Chains A and B, each alone.
Chain A
């Protein structure tokens, strides 16, 4: 492989259209479509006793109103449980439209289709729904108390209960020289992409085919789900993902009620229908994450080495569990980070509440797990009066212990075995980057000025690149352009650029010659989706493998044409040439012509490929038995196990002694995701992740009242950070290749967000000298904590 393109911080190929207003997002499509809007429950738990549409039917421009009673076939069944798990003993999913009971504010009750969204909302406001309110369960404590049940047949509100244990943790803790107990909580946040969800469907009655556009993280799976729900042959359904305005996890869930109902209505009405989620809908009817409460018992020795760790936690999964228990499983396993825990026991319950369902948000359970482990490390350091980095270092898995088996089962059902990593080296880099050893002097100086500052640290290991697989198709056209298609989707990660870099590097063509298509089932039908920092690992390697096949074929054909051994050939700038004899060459586009013998000459290139133009033996058919026409290939990459990226963050904060305002003065990141395909894009992913980490630590929290009303379902009150709240991020990289895949890459998408709460809690605790055990934390809460001496 040539490495000229691989590893270069080239500018993104997708930018010119996106900065010019030429992107095409869901709501930019289907200007002729009817608009859908939904009547959503204003109550957190209620029986729907009547839906009266009398007033609504008079509205000019109304096309249709649907309630549960109108649904038919599998559309009337509950939405699928996407990821079953043996420990998820009481899974529940909602219906596309409420079937008699609503279990959170925002649950869809009726669907309106009208000439435009304005009219659709007019109609929705005139539909009179009668509700009989039921007792409401909000918060983990209430769910576990189980005075009321979210689902009548799940009296204890427990959806799942899972225990994993390596060694005898309780015995190890009891026998350890020192023991600590900590209670640690994280509250609710959400992905909150700037573009909400959206679905646009067109039914072609003559062709009996359905085209669905969805702002999704998985078009291939939406296709299967829609076909199954609507009872249409899969072959007659295509799902296309246009430009997508961010995902961060929430758009991996599918099919959303609207992804079923919009195509269903489009078929019934014989007209295109579009639904564009608005901001309020996104807050109250998509998905949230993060709320968990944890109890930690840890036993350790005089050096701070862990002997045993026991964590019991509860996960608030909201009203339904369509995505299974992925987030708490990740917490329970990824909590271990770069450390050897001694004996480890983890137990969790996933509980129902009358709130929006919980599905993965970037980081997916890791921020909570890292918060728990890193708070524990800090508590041990404080207890033993040791430097916080020293305690961590003493518990690190060492590079020569890789691959390291944690002895547990990971979220993909496979062993939790770390593939590679050099944690001591990462810590060393981080300490230098942030100036860890100089901080004491800085603190003294600040103190003399009446300022209060603190430094914090957080380390994590992140399972990335989970299977089962991704594939890619690579084709060289007769004009020399290269078209790459992969099935997973893109929400801003720069796949058009990095996959082009991979293909260009393998094929020996300029990156400008490569175009990349993602998330379009017309172009590639088998895929899983974009989540879990897996795109570069899975599709990146699939592109490399497919491109290698194309290259091999190109060299074989070129070898025949040039009458040389293909092993003597190489490709540079799109030209195949004999190594050391540059004049003996043939352009890749000519090889593409030779690869596809034609009968008809529709243009000059084709004329060169017709039966009468191509040379070759008359003893063999134009396409050999073991060959196919075209300079193209498909291949798949399916990993044995996940790769494990790692990183360490440090932050310096200042807290106002009077107002308790918290300012992040510096934020440093050392990051190891294996080999970097495009450092510019990886850095960008980290910047954005850190911003979400800072948001999750200091600003963002979804607050429900006891009646189950979301009190801050707007950008006014859900405080996503502006530029004024986000620190400059200083980054250093380590590149420890993964031995598991051909490119040696690990994933980078989620890295930045993972230790945010842990790092900032550590820094605030350092500045304030009071234990910080709950995040996020606002100035008001910090001030209250000062009064109480703890948070």
Chain B
């Protein structure tokens, strides 16, 4: 299990990185944390000709909160996002979900943006970005574009990132005042990819009724799946809302499959159970 040979590039600036990526095209791959990429290389499931190491681009390591958005740079490690007090204050969900990403040693190196680009439907961060209707900023030698989450996750392990592009930043919008979030998942072992995971975002009105409720799911579809739960709970008093109905609603929408760890039916059942639990927890956090 040794990686195949590649040409290594260590650009000193984002501009340099984009230049190299433009040159290498589809044969170029960005190396950030490498916690998803290197296992794939070690198993020789991929053999990119060029790796563009962005680990020296300190300008991309930021985690900032401004204008109702948490901005996470391409080099911000999961651990940095998880620890960041301002990000937590603005958007507790980031810490709630990131704490479920593998184990601390992986989070010390792996990056939030890298996880988004990897677009694993079993991963937490793509679901978080989807739940919050966030976006990813992609840069290339020819310019920048910002892709909303709904368009960014194209399929299993497939994002909208094009050859020559570098994902420079993820934008996680801070939900309106009166919102609460919760993240729950069932995994086989602690730290494993979830058999089913759910993030719920509720927004309450001044009289503590449910104004809006949304959920996002991992491991129950080819991409992170979001479900609007409003149909089941909108307008109801938050503390007595029928979250089981919300769970049933979501269970009907997801598209789980069987694998060696769980049946599709069980995953669908978990969607119902975890949605109900997370809904209540999100209300409690609002």
Contact = CB atoms under 8 A, between A and B. Distances in A.
Given A658-B273, A659-B186, A722-B191, A780 B5 contact: no
A701 B188 CA distance: 12
Given A712-B260, A784-B265, A725 B4 contact: no
A783 B1 contact: no
For chain B, which range describes its interface: under 10, 10 to 19, 20 to 34, or 35 or more residues?
Answer: 20 to 34
Contacts of A780: 195, 261-263, 266-267
Contacts of A711: 260
Contact of A659 (B2, B192, B270): B270
Nearest to A117: B2
Interface in B173-202: 186, 188-193, 195
B44 A121 contact: yes
B189 A724 contact: yes
Contacts of B2: 117-118, 121
A122 B5 contact: yes
Interface string A757-791: 00000000000000000000011100110010000
A719 B189 contact: yes
B9 interface: no
A128 interface: no
Nearest to A713: B43
A278 B1 contact: yes
A717 interface: yes
B190 A722 contact: yes
B118 interface: no
A654 to B, nearest CB: 15
A703 B260 contact: yes
Interface string A312-328: 00000000000000000
B242 to A, nearest CB: 16
Contacts of A121: 1-2, 44
A279 interface: yes
A118 B47 CA distance: 13
Contacts of A49: none
Interface string A107-129: 00000000001100110010000
A779 B196 CA distance: 12
B273 A778 contact: no
Contacts of A661: 186
B177 to A, nearest CB: 32
B253 interface: no
Contact of B188 (A117, A125, A658, A778): A778
Contact of B266 (A278, A714, A779): A779
B260 A722 contact: no
Interface in B236-286: 260-263, 265-267, 269-270, 273-274
Contacts of A778: 188, 261-262
Nearest to B264: A780
B191 A784 contact: no
A84 interface: no
Contacts of B3: 118
B188 A719 contact: yes
A768 to B, nearest CB: 15
A721 B262 CA distance: 17
Say what secondary structure dominates the interface of chain B: loop
B189 A783 contact: no
A280 interface: yes
B191 A122 contact: no
For chain A, which range describes its interface: under 10, 10 to 19, 20 to 34, or 35 or more residues?
Answer: 20 to 34
A330 to B, nearest CB: 28
Given A278-B1, A717-B260, A784-B263, A699 B188 contact: yes
B259 to A, nearest CB: 8
Contacts of B267: 780
A222 to B, nearest CB: 25
A198 to B, nearest CB: 14
B265 A125 contact: no
Contacts of B265: 784, 787
B43 A725 contact: no
Interface string B209-227: 0000000000000000000
Nearest to A124: B44
B186 A779 contact: yes
Contact of B1 (A279, A659, A724): A279
Contacts of B274: 659
Nearest to A121: B2
B165 to A, nearest CB: 28
Interface in B14-62: 43-44
A783 B269 contact: yes
A712 B267 CA distance: 19
B246 to A, nearest CB: 15
A124 to B, nearest CB: 10
Contacts of A714: 43
A280 B269 CA distance: 33
A503 B133 CA distance: 71
A659 B263 CA distance: 13
Interface string A720-737: 011011000000000000
A535 B266 CA distance: 46
B175 to A, nearest CB: 27
B261 A699 contact: no
Nearest to B267: A780
Contacts of A717: 260-261
Contact of A724 (B5, B191, B270): B191
Contacts of A716: 192-193
Contacts of A659: 186, 270, 273-274
A779 B195 CA distance: 10
Interface string A642-686: 000000000000000011110000000000000000000000000
Nearest to B191: A722
A433 B192 CA distance: 33
A51 B270 CA distance: 49
Nearest to A661: B186
Contacts of A122: 4-5
Nearest to B262: A780
Contacts of A699: 188-189
A331 B212 CA distance: 60
Interface in A688-715: 699, 701, 703, 711-712, 714
B260 A280 contact: no
Contacts of B266: 660, 779-780, 783-784
Interface in A249-287: 278-280
Contacts of B270: 659
A709 to B, nearest CB: 11
Nearest to A718: B260
Would you list the 4 A-B pairs with minimal beta carbon distance, nearest first? Answer: A724-B190, A780-B262, A780-B266, A278-B1
9 contacts: A118-B5, A121-B1, A122-B4, A699-B188, A712-B260, A722-B190, A783-B269, A784-B263, A787-B265
